[in-house]
Structure 1
Amino acid sequence: MPETRNITPPATTGPGLLIHAAGPMDEEGLLAVLRSAANATAALPTDRPIEVLIQGPGVKLLASDSVAIAAVQEALGAGTHLLACENSLRSANLEPGRLTPGVGTVPAAIAHLAYRQWDGWAYARL
């Protein structure tokens, strides 16, 4: 599997949950996705990682100057692994260095989804 960038892969005893959010997204949409991740964190075993993968124009909300910065930082602090699709970053003219510290990237969301599913991860599309 290609490595994700800018994050340390979570240590687990098994697969986790991958939450995929794609397409146009405003701040309220991202907040809803992050609430779902927080709810999953509270309800699932603590040794199972939660990844939120943002694909599409919503990657702009993961930037360090985003209106959603506080929510992004809170999610990261709670242990949620936030990932941005590099193809989407290019389409949005957003350099990976402008992402909030702690937000990782994957080369292609579609490939990351496939790899995680092949590895037995649960998948939720929001």
Structure 2
Amino acid sequence: MKNKVFFLAAFLFWASFSVFGQDTAPVKALATEHRIVYDMSAADTAQHAGLMRQLNNIKRAWPEARIEVVVHGKALDLLVTEKSYKAEALKALQGKGVVFAACENSMRARNVTKAQLLPGVITVPMAIGEIIMKQEQGWGYIKY
């Protein structure tokens, strides 16, 4: 019986060192490249304004984050020079490295030419295809 008590006490003594002896320093965040693709298809200008705020928040926290906003459907007006009421905000975000991509399928359906797009906006053949390719490359996806 004494041997069992001795071994139990020895085990508990050893276990306390492995629990209490652990390093309690905060864990450093792993360095990672943040890559985010946004899917914007809503015509709602309040959503457009919210998107601009969210993009600025991300770039403030993660200045090196790679962000692409794929715009299609009724949201295309966000990128059209004569219709966008967020042109200045968009230009400022482009200056921070945010890429805005217009869907060529949506452009054809809405009779929008590349010349009508805001400066610096790129085009992609199809929005869904662009989003899928980004996801396949490990980009985080956000539907906005």
TM range (shorter): 0.7 to 0.9
State the alpha-carbon separation in 2 of the partners of residues 113 and 73 from structure 1.
22
Residues 1:17 and 2:36 aligned together? yes
State the alpha-carbon separation in 1 of the partners of residues 34 and 137 from structure 2.
7
Q: How many residues align?
A: 112
User: RCO higher in 1 or 2 (8 Å CA, sep ≥ 6)?
Assistant: 1
Measure how far apart 1:68 and its partner are: 2.2
Q: Which amino acid aligns with 1:17?
A: I
Match of 1:84 in 2: 102
Secondary structure of 2:90's aligned partner = helix
In the alignment, which of 47, 55, 75 is matched to residue 37 of structure 1? 55
In the alignment, which of 52, 73, 89 is matched to residue 71 of structure 1? 89
The answer to whether the Cα contact below 8 Å between 1:15 and 1:120 also exists between their aligned partners in 2 is no
Closer/same/farther in 2, CA of residues 45 and 101 from structure 1, 3 Å limit: closer
In the alignment, which of 119, 122, 133 is matched to residue 101 of structure 1? 119
User: What whole-Å deviation, never above 9, does each CA across 1:13-69 have from its counterpart, x for those lacking one?
Assistant: 8561111111x31332212112111111122361x3111111111112211222222
> Which 4+ stretches in 1 moved above 4 angstroms?
none
Instruction: Pick the structure with more helix per residue.
Output: 2
The runs of 5 or more residues in structure 2 that have no matched partner are 1-31
The runs of 5 or more residues in structure 1 that have no matched partner are 1-12
The answer to whether the Cα contact below 8 Å between 1:63 and 1:99 also exists between their aligned partners in 2 is yes
Q: Which amino acid aligns with 2:78?
A: L
The 5-angstrom pairing of residues 54-65 of structure 1 reads 54-65=71-82
Secondary structure of 1:51's aligned partner = strand
**TM-score scaled to structure 1, two decimals?**
0.79
State the alpha-carbon separation in 2 of the partners of residues 60 and 19 from structure 1.
16
**TM-score scaled to structure 2, two decimals?**
0.70
Query: RMSD of the alignment, in Å?
Result: 1.8
Which structure is larger by alpha-carbon Rg, 1 or 2? 2
